[in-house]
Structure 1
């Protein structure tokens, strides 16, 4: 099957990483369904992709913190009749926190927006897949995680918990769906130079009287490759995991962190 006939759903499609993923997959010939909260940004993203020509690009808005919004997304996805060949699932990012024991309400909110909502969305996406391994048709799911999935970080208490939950869920899905030809792999990211992260580095540099480059060099001094990743590098890794490269891979977590993580 040629890539031009494959349809992939990308969540978080208007963010720094999501935009790079969509551009990379569009260039590779995939048709895309973009999902995010902001309708205006979704419309703009699809318009930009359509300038590439050839493929189909459309959007469905969703707020994964809302059960009603996820249900509406699922209904719209089913109604349009698309058969998905792939999903790139990016649960919302969690900000640093100094609290190792956040209040119960914080946990409830985060589990809803970062695990329960995205998992319900993934369930509806899987229901549209029609893999036929005997005919070479496989479906690929890539879940974007973080290095807190394998190494706890002091200021990311909630991420330490929820990213591990995603790794466990991905393993569970991989075991359950492998025979059907549905592959489930995760990509755990270290620091990635999205526009928002670049801005935060700049703010930290200004606060301590450093240049941006000085601050960046200091922050990456404990990374073997001495650099943060780029959204485009993440997008390439996602494309590879959606490709035949992963035809004999499932339940795998790939670290995309420049070698920062020392344990696996």
Structure 2
């Protein structure tokens, strides 16, 4: 199936590793121009070189702290200057620290708000003028916690739900500009973030990370963690020209783990 992504331009946030990097790989393979970003220029340079070896679309990187509104404006402006437009935006951010309600300070709450919700809002605001001219696709990465809160991840549970509300509302407002926006919520995908969470939970229970992982897998009907490239494939479809009628939705990619309707 031709996804009609050749020469389209995608801006992918938090893409020097994990899910963001996997999405970048898929889009480059489809011939899209891809702009990757994170705070770490050295990692970005390495990923850029890896992506260019795929012999697909053009790759550009620029470091950006998504908690800084000025850096967001610079990133979007540079992307448009280089490629003329932004057709696709993937909002993504690392998860906030784990912990219970009584452990969280005002600073913890503020940090999580700025990283995991306000950054999405700011990024969408900056790309809108470009997308309103020719239409576009936006995917907001959240978490399976939007359907079933995850114990010990209070900050994530709170602000990821905000992403769903943002997406659903903007789907109504942006449809007239032919902008489709959706939320994609990963379950247990084999990334460094998930490995770190497993490590932390294992220590609390006095078991190894491997034992913790096997315990979690028992609650996943498919019996395994997802692969980043599997997750990226679903995101790529929603970003593509093949997706013409799906907007405002929340798609779980979790191997059947979440039991809620």
In 1: Cα distance, 2:109 partner to 2:80 partner: 31
For structure 2, the 5+ residue unaligned runs are none
Conserved? CA contact 2:41–2:63, under 8 Å: yes
Residue 92 of structure 1 deviates from its aligned partner by 2.7
Q: Which residue of 2 aligns with 1:118?
A: 120
Unaligned runs of 5+ in 1: 133-137
Deviation at residue 78 of structure 1 after TM alignment? 4.5
Pairwise CA distance, 1:205: 5.9
| Greater Cα shift, 179-188 or 202-211 | 202-211
> Which residue does 1:44 correspond to in 2?
46
Q: Please say which of residues 116-125 and 16-25 is displaced more in the overlay.
A: 116-125
* Distance in structure 1 (CA, Å) of the matches to 2:208 and 2:113: 37
1:244 is displaced (CA, Å) by 3.6
Which residue of structure 2 aligns with residue 90 of structure 1? Answer: 92
How many equivalent residue pairs? Answer: 258
Once residues 185 and 200 of structure 2 are traced to their aligned partners in structure 1, the CA distance between those partners, rounded to angstroms, is 25
Alpha-carbon displacement from aligned partner over 1:91-131 (angstroms, at most 9, x marks no partner): 33123212267322221222112221232122112222255
CA distance in 1, matches of 2:104, 2:207: 32
Shift in Å, 1:250: 0.3
Mean CA deviation greater in 145-154 or 161-170: 145-154
Deviates more, 1:176-185 or 1:22-31: 22-31
Equivalents in 2 of 1:107, 1:71: separation in Å? 24
Give the Å deviation of 1:77.
3.5
2: distance between equivalents of 1:91 and 1:203?
Answer: 20
TM-score by length of 2: 0.88
Q: How do 1:1-264 and structure 2 match up within 5 A?
A: 2-80=4-82, 82-99=84-101, 102-130=104-132, 132=134, 138-198=135-195, 201=198, 208=206, 210=208, 212=210, 214-264=211-261
